[in-house]
């Protein structure tokens, strides 16, 4: 009896400590003046545009702490495309939102880690940067494309207005005419026919595919260095998907920006990515070049993922799927998360989670 | 029609009231008067007759005021309208900003304070608050007049008349505003919260817009839509007046008149008044629909 | 600072989650506390007070001042004896007496009992009618639904205040027994008020009916009443609770307005509304605050408390609440 009570009260104490932590993080984030020393930093490799180092983003809820991202590290080199794959709920979107500092406080906080961005004025750590600086970067040097084109545009403003707004915000010296010209250029760039007409249209007058093109146009309008695409094709049907992907490929070549592509569709990854990062339940399971991952997957989860994709032309009796479910993110055990579902698990898997083993220089 | 039946069922019909105090009135006289006022026919018959008149545009003559019902309504409704209209403007000016602040600072002390004030307004019984105001402002402090629309025994003209009426209107307007601000503010707050959680706000932030712009340009415009349609829809209702408050302040508006009519069983007036209310509601719905199309581009037909 | 790892693996039930959210809302707790306070005040007060609801007190004029007759043996009629009207608050009558010589505090307590009783009863009846009719309309649809909705529309068109005034005056004229007037009042208010509840219930059921879990219950073979009661209704409960709570406040306001106008609870029974009615006399308004301010304040507090409670419940039940 006493044991149960002590667990309960211990749980309450933990909860209270967590709430205190959340509040202090929130306060630190919202300070008016954050000294430069706190966010100026050094890149490990000058060729990288972004280096994520041991990122941890938690959500402090009534039911407990959700460790959505729990120790994620990877690099995005300039001009390359990095794909992050994983099941729904593994933390890929949260990672991208953390980069943009769009995590909704006070319950969501970046608790640990660094996100080093190689900006023009020198490398800075995005985790500590004041929001005002972040707002300069957003839509400008780092832009984002979201998953649901149907609802991501403001219904009461025209499409042209919304693209203008992005341009005007980061280029205050341009005249209205110049801005409009540029917007129409962007609409053309993303493959919209009759851009002048669409410029005056409202979002609800456009189809899903067209809205997503508009979103992409908006994201490209200020010549970003890094484009984050969060499942840009998931909400569209397959034919439109192909078109949008084709568009992204063209853009990639034209624009020379890095792309962080988040998806759960392995086919897309195979077509577009230079590097692949596999996530599961908030951690990285495996990462490496696309070729390495596809030809020579090491972690059982990755192997499972690749096997799950039905291959055209191959006849099987039963479609393969990884048994079990993603664990509850609230009470993560401290050993390998995949243990209970793994076909290849053996004794050492029950031990405390070990650091990633290095297979090759680029293949972890 | 149900209304008509009810009123007819009212036992103290007009004639009886009028004649109750007078001695020496014969039964015959009562019968004669009843005939004149159309009270001698049975209930359904009476209704048919009335409806027939209405179609011809004749609303009948009010018992109490001895004038055509139409004219009576027309005369009195303006007083009610101005009262409600000014109150509405004030309510909007106060409620919308407060609602926005309350939503953006959800659960902060400011939010709690504003919410408490809003609930205070909603929970006040109008007559009680009116009485309090009368006591403190009219009796004790003597800033505002106690009752009435114009100061009696003074015959102001033109602009002075306007000022005088305005001065008399102050207390009733305060009553309306305090009672009405609450619900409007909560409504704004709820809508604002919903809008702030939508995807396009996330996009706006991702574009790098300052929080200020996000709230006051993007979110606000969307929140306005339901508010504008609601306000537009309630415009016609402003003509109908508030029965209790007008009574306390003895403002000669439509509400007060309606109360008198009820007390005396003034059937033509009440029937006319009811039609009036129904028409107002219809117009209100119409305005609301039209405004919706004006403000929300999604609703416009191409 | 590191994040503490949860050692307990117990999941939280939705009920507990709602409770937690509710308790975070300080206003809601305040509302709940006020309601409990008022209920206690009324019940304990009524048990304790030595005075009757409409007991009239007499005073004797001694030396040109009204002094209350406290000796029950003294004769009630006498030269200097008259009704102890409009007394200021004193030690024997904490809130003084009203214009007919009745103790204000006791009437306040009785008024509370009556107003609260009317409000609760009214809401209960409205719920009963509304849930039943709304449920039937939503569940069976078709012409049943159409019929019930027509009824709802008609009742909506009836202007409530005038109708209640009329019914009231009919009752007065026909000399309806005073005692039953209260029940009649409840009846009329509920008959006009159930439509709101019915609409919400119907809407909820219409949307829930098509959801997959209902199809599942059908597939499992549950009987119709069982499906309605065990599955549909619990999903409608949160909204109902919120509506009921907010409704109590609204009924109290309506009843007090009616009583104030003289069409509600009749004399000599006390209701908060008809106690405020005394303010119509300008002299009383100016001098005898003790007569009309307390009942008004009670109305305000009670309605506010119910509003806070209802609003807090609504926030607690809403699964999309951010914090």
A156: nearest CA partner in chain B: B297
User: Is the bond leading into A88 cis (omega within 30 degrees of zero)?
Assistant: no
For position A363, what pLDDT does the model report?
A: 35
Tokens of residue A321, six digits: 């799927």
CB pair distance less than 8 Å for C323 and A58: no
Q: Helix C142-157 and helix C178-209: axis angle, to 10°? A: 140
CA dist A144 to A100, A137, A331, C58, C124, Å? 8, 11, 31, 83, 53
Task: For residue B146, list chain C residues with Cβ-Cβ distance below 8 A.
Answer: 282
CA dist A292 to A45, A359, A363, B81, B142, Å? 22, 10, 7, 78, 89
The minimum CA-CA distance between A65 and chain C, rounded to whole Å, is: 8
- How many CB pairs (< 8 A) connect A and B? 69
- The kind and range of the H/E element at C59 are strand C58-62
For position B131, what pLDDT does the model report?
A: 79
Query: Residue A154 pLDDT > 80, yes or no?
Result: yes
A17 touches chain C (CB under 8 A): yes
User: Bridge partners of A108?
Assistant: A59
For position C51, what pLDDT does the model report?
A: 65
CATH architecture assigned to B71-301: Orthogonal Bundle (1.10)
CA pseudo-torsion sign B37, B40, B43, B47: negative
The string of pLDDT tens digits covering residues B139-170 is 666 666 666 666 655 565 666 667 777 777 77
Three-state secondary structure along chain A? CHHHHHHHHHHHHHHHHHHHHHHHHHHHHCCCCCCHHHCECCCCCCCEEEEEEEEEEEEEECCEEEEEEEEEEEEEECCCEEEEECCCCCCHHHHHHHHCCCCCCCCEEEEEEEEEEEECCEEEECCCCCHHHHHHHECCCEEEECCCCCCCCCCCCCHHHHHHHHHHHHCCCCCHHHHHHHHHHHHHHCCCCCHHHHHCCCHHHCCHHHHHHHHHHHHHCCCCCEEEEECCCCCCCHHHHHHHHHHHHHHHHHHCCEEEEEECCHHHHHHHCCEEEEEECCEEEEEEEHHHHHHCCCCHHHHHHHHHCCCCCCCCCCCCCCCCCCCCCCCCCCECCCHHHCCCCCHHHHCECCCCCCCECCEC
* Identity of the residue in A21, A63, A334 whose CB atom sits nearest the CB atom of C12: A63
* Identity of the residue in B206, B225, B296 whose CB atom sits nearest the CB atom of A139: B206
Write out the residues of chain B at the interface with chain A, using a CB-CB cutoff of 8 A. Answer: 198-200, 202-211, 218, 221-222, 225, 296-298, 302
A5 touches chain C (CB under 8 A): no
Residue C68 DSSP label: E
The minimum CA-CA distance between A19 and chain C, rounded to whole Å, is: 10
Give the integer Cα–Cα distance in Å for B244 and B127.
7
Mean pLDDT, chain C, as a whole number? 73
The minimum CA-CA distance between A85 and chain B, rounded to whole Å, is: 22
Query: Residue A186 pLDDT > 60, yes or no?
Result: yes
Give the integer Cα–Cα distance in Å for A17 and C5.
10
Spatial CB neighbours of A90, under 8 Å, sequence gap ≥ 6: A279, A280, A281, A282, A326
Asked if C264 and C270 touch (Cβ cutoff 8 Å), the reply is: no
Calculate the CA B90 to chain-centre distance.
Answer: 15
The string of pLDDT tens digits covering residues C175-228 is 666 667 777 778 878 887 888 888 888 877 777 777 767 777 777 777 766 666
The string of pLDDT tens digits covering residues B130-144 is 878 877 776 666 666
C296: nearest CA partner in chain B: B128
CB pair distance less than 8 Å for A165 and B209: yes
The minimum CA-CA distance between B129 and chain C, rounded to whole Å, is: 8
CA dihedral of residues B2, B5, B6, B9 (deg, nearest 10): -170
Q: Chains contacting C with at least 3 CB pairs below 8 Å?
A: A, B
- In this predicted model, which residue has the larger pLDDT, B80 or B51? B80
Asked if A338 and A279 touch (Cβ cutoff 8 Å), the reply is: no
The rounded average pLDDT for each run of 10 residues, N- to C-terminus, in chain C (323 residues) is 48 71 75 81 73 60 53 51 62 67 76 84 88 79 78 68 65 63 79 82 78 73 68 77 85 83 72 78 70 82 86 75 50
Query: Residue B56 pLDDT > 60, yes or no?
Result: no
Domain coordinates in residue numbering, chain A: 1-130+263-364
Q: Chains contacting A with at least 3 CB pairs below 8 Å?
A: B, C
The string of pLDDT tens digits covering residues A236-248 is 787 888 888 888 8
Calculate the CA B197 to chain-centre distance.
Answer: 34
Give the integer Cα–Cα distance in Å for B183 and C97.
37
CB pair distance less than 8 Å for C4 and A330: no
The string of pLDDT tens digits covering residues B175-189 is 888 888 888 888 888
The minimum CA-CA distance between C88 and chain A, rounded to whole Å, is: 53
- The kind and range of the H/E element at C166 are helix C160-173
* Identity of the residue in B206, B208, B221 whose CB atom sits nearest the CB atom of A170: B208
The minimum CA-CA distance between A291 and chain B, rounded to whole Å, is: 33
- In this predicted model, which residue has the larger pLDDT, C302 or B273? C302
For position C222, what pLDDT does the model report?
A: 72
pTM across the whole model: 0.74
CB pair distance less than 8 Å for C304 and B119: yes
Percentage of residues of chain B with pLDDT beyond 90: 0
ipTM: 0.75
The string of pLDDT tens digits covering residues C295-317 is 888 888 888 888 888 888 887 77
- For domain A1-130+263-364, is the CATH number 3.40.50.300? yes
Residue B136 DSSP label: I
């Amino acid at each position: 009896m006493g044991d149960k009570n002590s667990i309960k009260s211990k749980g309450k104490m933990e909860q209270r400590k967590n709430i205190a932590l959340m509040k202090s993080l929130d306060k630190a984030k919202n300070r008016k003046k954050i000294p430069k020393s706190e966010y100026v930093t050094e890149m490990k490799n000058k060729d990288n545009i972004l280096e994520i180092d041991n990122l941890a983003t938690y959500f402090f809820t009534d039911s407990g702490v959700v460790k959505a991202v729990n120790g994620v590290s990877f690099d995005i080199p300039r001009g390359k495309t990095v794909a992050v794959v994983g099941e729904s709920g593994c933390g890929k979107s949260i990672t991208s939102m953390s980069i943009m500092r769009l995590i909704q406080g006070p319950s969501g906080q970046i608790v640990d880690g660094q996100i080093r961005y190689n900006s023009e004025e020198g490398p800075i750590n995005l985790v500590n940067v004041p929001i005002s600086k972040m707002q300069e970067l957003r839509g400008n040097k780092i832009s984002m494309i979201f998953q649901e084109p149907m609802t991501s545009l403001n219904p009461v403003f025209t499409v042209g207005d919304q693209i203008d707004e992005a341009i005007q915000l980061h280029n205050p010296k341009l005249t209205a005419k110049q801005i409009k010209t540029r917007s129409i250029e962007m609409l053309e760039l993303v493959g919209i026919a009759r851009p002048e007409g669409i410029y005056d249209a409202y979002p609800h007058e456009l189809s899903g595919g067209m809205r997503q093109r508009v979103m992409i146009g908006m994201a490209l309008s200020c010549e970003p260095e890094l484009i984050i695409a969060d499942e840009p094709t998931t909400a569209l049907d397959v034919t439109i998907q192909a078109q949008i992907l084709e568009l992204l490929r063209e853009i990639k070549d034209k624009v020379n920006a890095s792309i962080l592509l988040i998806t759960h569709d392995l086919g897309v990854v195979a077509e577009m990515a230079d590097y692949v990062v596999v996530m599961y339940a908030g951690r990285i399971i495996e990462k490496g070049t696309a070729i390495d991952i596809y030809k020579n997957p090491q972690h059982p989860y990755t192997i499972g993922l690749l096997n799950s994709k039905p291959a055209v032309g191959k006849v099987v009796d039963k479609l393969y799927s990884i048994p079990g479910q993603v664990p509850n993110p609230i009470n993560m055990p401290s050993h390998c998360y995949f243990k209970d579902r793994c076909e290849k698990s053996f004794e050492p898997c029950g031990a405390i989670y070990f650091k990633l083993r290095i297979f090759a220089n680029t293949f972890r | 029609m149900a209304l008509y039946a009810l009123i007819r069922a009212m036992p103290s019909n007009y004639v009886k009231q009028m004649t109750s105090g007078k001695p020496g009135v014969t039964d015959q006289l009562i019968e004669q008067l009843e005939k004149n006022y159309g009270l001698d026919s049975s209930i359904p018959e009476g209704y048919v007759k009335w409806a027939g008149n209405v179609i011809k545009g004749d609303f009948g003559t009010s018992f109490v005021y001895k004038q055509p019902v139409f004219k009576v309504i027309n005369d009195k409704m303006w007083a009610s309208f101005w009262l409600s209209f000014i109150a509405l403007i004030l309510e909007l000016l106060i409620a919308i900003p407060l609602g926005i602040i309350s939503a953006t600072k959800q659960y902060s002390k400011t939010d709690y304070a504003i919410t408490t004030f809003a609930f205070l307004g909603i929970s006040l019984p109008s007559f009680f608050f009116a009485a309090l105001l009368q006591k403190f402002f009219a009796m004790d402090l003597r800033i505002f007049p106690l009752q009435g629309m114009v100061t009696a025994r003074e015959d102001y003209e033109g602009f002075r008349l306007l000022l005088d009426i305005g001065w008399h209107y102050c207390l009733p307007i305060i009553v309306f505003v305090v009672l009405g601000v609450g619900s409007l503010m909560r409504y704004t707050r709820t809508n604002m919260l919903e809008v702030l959680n939508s995807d396009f706000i996330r996009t706006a932030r991702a574009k790098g817009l300052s929080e200020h712009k996000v709230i006051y340009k993007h979110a606000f415009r969307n929140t306005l839509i339901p508010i504008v349609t609601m306000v537009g829809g309630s415009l016609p209702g402003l003509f109908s007046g508030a029965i209790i408050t007008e009574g306390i302040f003895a403002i000669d508006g439509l509400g007060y008149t309606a109360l008198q009519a009820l007390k005396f069983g003034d059937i033509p007036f009440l029937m006319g008044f009811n039609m009036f209310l129904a028409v107002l509601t219809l117009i209100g719905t119409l305005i609301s629909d039209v405004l919706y199309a004006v403000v929300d581009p999604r609703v416009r037909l191409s | 600072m590191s994040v503490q790892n949860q050692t307990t693996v117990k999941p939280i039930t939705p009920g507990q989650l709602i409770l937690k959210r509710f308790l975070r809302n300080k206003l809601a707790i305040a509302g709940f506390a006020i309601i409990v306070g008022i209920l206690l005040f009324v019940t304990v007060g009524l048990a304790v007070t030595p005075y009757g609801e409409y007991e009239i007190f007499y005073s004797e004029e001694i030396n040109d001042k009204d002094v209350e007759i406290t000796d029950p043996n003294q004769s009630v009629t006498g030269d200097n004896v008259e009704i102890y009207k409009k007394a200021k608050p004193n030690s024997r009558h904490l809130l003084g007496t009203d214009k007919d010589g009745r103790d204000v505090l006791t009437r306040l307590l009785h008024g509370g009992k009556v107003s609260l009783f009317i409000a609760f009863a009214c809401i209960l009846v409205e719920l009963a009618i509304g849930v039943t009719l709304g449920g039937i309309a939503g569940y069976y649809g078709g012409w049943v639904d159409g019929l019930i909705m027509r009824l709802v529309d008609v009742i909506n068109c009836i202007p409530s205040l005038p109708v209640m005034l009329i019914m009231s005056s009919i009752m007065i004229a026909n000399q309806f027994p005073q005692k039953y007037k209260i029940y009649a009042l409840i009846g009329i208010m509920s008959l006009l008020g159930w439509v709101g509840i019915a609409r919400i219930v119907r809407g909820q059921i219409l949307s829930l009916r098509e959801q997959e879990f209902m199809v599942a219950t059908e597939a499992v073979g549950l009987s119709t009443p069982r499906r309605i009661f065990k599955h549909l209704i619990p999903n409608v409960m949160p909204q109902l609770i919120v509506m009921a709570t907010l409704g109590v406040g609204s009924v109290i306001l309506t009843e007090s307005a009616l009583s104030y106008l003289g069409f509600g609870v009749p004399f000599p029974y006390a209701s908060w509304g008809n106690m405020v009615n005394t303010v119509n006399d300008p002299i009383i308004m100016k001098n005898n605050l003790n007569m009309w301010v307390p009942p008004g304040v009670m109305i305000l507090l009670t309605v506010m408390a119910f509003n806070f409670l209802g609003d807090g419940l609504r926030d607690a039940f809403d699964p999309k609440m951010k914090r």
